[in-house]
Structure 1
Amino acid sequence: MIKRILGATALSLAVVAAHAQTWPTHAVKYIVPFPPGGATDLMSRPLVERLQQRLGQPVVIENIGGAGGSIGATRIAQAKADGYVIGLGNSASHTITPHLLAKPPYDALKDFTPIAMINEYVNILVVNPALGVKNMEEFLALAKSKPGALRYGSAGNGSSNHLTAEVLASQARLKFIHVPYKGNGPALTDVIAGHIDWMFGTISEVLPYLESGKLIALGTSGVARDALLPKVPPIAEAVPKFEVTGFMAVFGPANLPAAVVQRLNTEVNAILKTPEIVERYANAGMKAVGSSPKELEQRVRADHALWKKVIETAGIKAE
């Protein structure tokens, strides 16, 4: 019996080793579940370019946008588990959208194989200068003096910046009016025009308007100051324990072979340590962050639980 067990174990290890040596033998598809030109696309392209060099086979990006990332994520989940279809998942596709849909097309915790984190990003709270506040303390005092009067914009109902604002309102015990838009661009335009008072935006989105004086940054949703905005403090300095940090990561369909997962994890983490990727991500206001598959799984589970609670408490539904 022992010999049989040892023999089976040796055979299993041999199969894994053989798979590691032969994969990939042809092109790999990398699905980005959002349209071209957005942050997920722009962060994926330099990563994929270097990944195909290290794998020795083409890695082809396919953008499949729509429904908060759920359409493209579904394609990843339903792909054959052989390593030839992988893709990007982020806070929206894996921890937010599943709670907004009445019948989610996938289970974010069971239908994917976590491979590696690639970055983390934060939102910056910006206001129109006409609001007359220069820091978070003044903003909070104004909001408390006018409950339900200040209007904030977002990229849409259930978007990450909408939910970040909900967390702020809950923790600071404030009331605001939410004005959803179809994307951050129109929302930023209306903050600048003074039609709404404030919103959360990514660093790359708001930086040009901060430099021109059209917007004022009051705080970051992260736990530390960002190199691109060293004068902007964490909101947590005014609202203790406040933190909202998004992520992007690489996933495959469930039951991806261990050898493929290990190979991809090793290559992705190596790429994320290269100076050009670190700098490129930093210039976009994002931090290159690798991980083990287990660490990514734990991050998804933690954020999945966080946003489930926020969405259910606020009664948010998909538009």
Structure 2
Amino acid sequence: MQATRRAVFGMGAGLALSSPALAQGTAPFPSRPIRFVVPFAPAGGSDIVARLLVEELAPRLGQPLVVENRPGQAASVGAAHVAQQPPDGYTILICTPGVQMTNPFLYSNLPYDAERGFTPIVHIAYLPNILVVHPSLPARSVAEFVAHARANPDRLSFSSTGPGSSSHLAMELFMSMSGTRMTHVPYRSSGQALTDLMAGRVDASLDSFAAMIPAVRAGSLRVLGISTERPLEDHPEIPAIAATLPGYEGTTLLYMVGPAGIPAPIVQRLNTAFNEVLALPRIRERFREMGMAASGGTPEELAQVIAEGRTKWRGVIERANVKLD
């Protein structure tokens, strides 16, 4: 599949840091442009983040980064393309949990090996969901919402951005941990769900902070809690759902991988550059404006996040009996 869109950013080779050579006589990495694959359409959240990062990565790596959009089949098209590339560090993929943590359990046949087909590089950001309700609902806290839902099994409805999406699975986890049952109403986008939420045609949602918070500020929705383990630094007024349901965490994330088998020196080179960019105040501030929290860390830490996420979301999917084939 041809890339639907690509953008090339400047080299800034004069500012490049020293980079490791894999073996005597080989060129140091990187010695040519790096392809940065986004498995979603242009102008979406992952695409915006990718283009924001490459502007800062290019001068640190001393080579251009070419953003390629390869959308389709719940990110499977882009993921499969990257998994099939040589493990040389010149093709990398920005991921959401679907690529490795949920798609393997939602679809019976994926065109890539979700568990062994990729090399972890770096965790980029957390994207919290918030629990919101229509103001007509008699609940002003997570505890009150749980009590109301328990007293009215299957009578409340919740929206999502589609079966198997982050917003759907976050609420399935919520219902499992709270002992509640609600009716799932899937939409194609957060915008469509938001319209019906504000109109009172749907009672609740556990959806993207960035998508829902403007309606909260306008008074059209009431926010009850956030899906992170602790309240956000910039929004301490929104309590963590985990304060009522200990251990609850329903936050999505963005991270970088490459094909399986990338040599450790190349992985470290990329990881170092990403961590430097993620530590920049202007990047962290831009992420906060987008409703995200910048992360970072080692490839080993990311590998653990992925492994734990696979176990967690597999359980949620199996208990809810969600299948998309």
TM-score w.r.t. length of structure 2? 0.90
1:277 to 277, 283, 286: 283
Is the 1:16–1:259 contact (alpha carbons within 8 Å) kept by the matching residues of 2? no
Residue 53 of structure 2 aligns with which residue?
A: 47
Is the 2:123–2:295 contact (alpha carbons within 8 Å) kept by the matching residues of 1? yes
Is the 2:22–2:28 contact (alpha carbons within 8 Å) kept by the matching residues of 1? no
Q: Does residue 146 of structure 1 match 2:147?
A: no
Residue 216 of structure 1 aligns with which residue?
A: 222
- Residue 230 of structure 1 and its aligned partner are, at CA, apart by 2.3
1:187 to 193, 209, 212: 193
Q: For the residues of structure 1 that align with 2:85 and 2:195, how far apart are their CA atoms?
A: 39
Q: Does residue 167 of structure 1 match 2:173?
A: yes
Note the aligned Cα RMSD (angstroms). 1.6
- Deviation track 1:27-50 (CA, whole Å, cap 9, x = no partner) reads 111001111222111222111111
Q: Does residue 86 of structure 1 match 2:117?
A: no
Correspondence list, 1:16-35, <5 A: 16=23, 19=26, 22-35=28-41
- Residue 174 of structure 1 and its aligned partner are, at CA, apart by 0.5
Equivalent pairs counted in the alignment come to: 306
- Residue 137 of structure 1 and its aligned partner are, at CA, apart by 1.8
Is the 1:28–1:58 contact (alpha carbons within 8 Å) kept by the matching residues of 2? yes
- Residue 242 of structure 1 and its aligned partner are, at CA, apart by 1.3
State percent identity of aligned pairs: 39
Residue 309 of structure 2 aligns with which residue?
A: 303
- Deviation track 1:241-270 (CA, whole Å, cap 9, x = no partner) reads 212232211111011122211110111111
- SS of equivalent to 1:130: coil
- SS of equivalent to 1:242: coil
- SS of equivalent to 1:26: coil
- SS of equivalent to 1:119: strand
Structure exhibiting the larger radius of gyration computed from Cα positions: 1
- Deviation track 1:284-303 (CA, whole Å, cap 9, x = no partner) reads 12111111111111111110
- Deviation track 1:129-160 (CA, whole Å, cap 9, x = no partner) reads 11232211221111111111000010000001
- Residue 18 of structure 1 and its aligned partner are, at CA, apart by 5.6
Is the 2:93–2:257 contact (alpha carbons within 8 Å) kept by the matching residues of 1? yes
1:225 to 227, 231, 253: 231
Worse-superposed segment, 135-144 or 168-177: 135-144
Correspondence list, 1:249-264, <5 A: 249-264=255-270
Q: For the residues of structure 2 that align with 1:227 and 1:296, how far apart are their CA atoms?
A: 23
Letter in 1 for 2:192: P
Residue 64 of structure 1 aligns with which residue?
A: 70
Residue 38 of structure 1 aligns with which residue?
A: 44
1:314 to 300, 312, 320: 320
TM-score w.r.t. length of structure 1? 0.92
- Residue 229 of structure 1 and its aligned partner are, at CA, apart by 2.8
Is the 2:97–2:254 contact (alpha carbons within 8 Å) kept by the matching residues of 1? yes
Q: Structure 1 residues 18 and 152 mapped into 2: Cα distance closer, same or farther (>3 Å)? A: farther
- Residue 227 of structure 1 and its aligned partner are, at CA, apart by 3.4
- SS of equivalent to 1:229: coil
Unaligned ranges ≥5, structure 1: 1-12
Displacement over 6 Å in runs of 4+: none
Q: For the residues of structure 2 that align with 1:225 and 1:17, how far apart are their CA atoms?
A: 50
Is the 1:121–1:245 contact (alpha carbons within 8 Å) kept by the matching residues of 2? yes
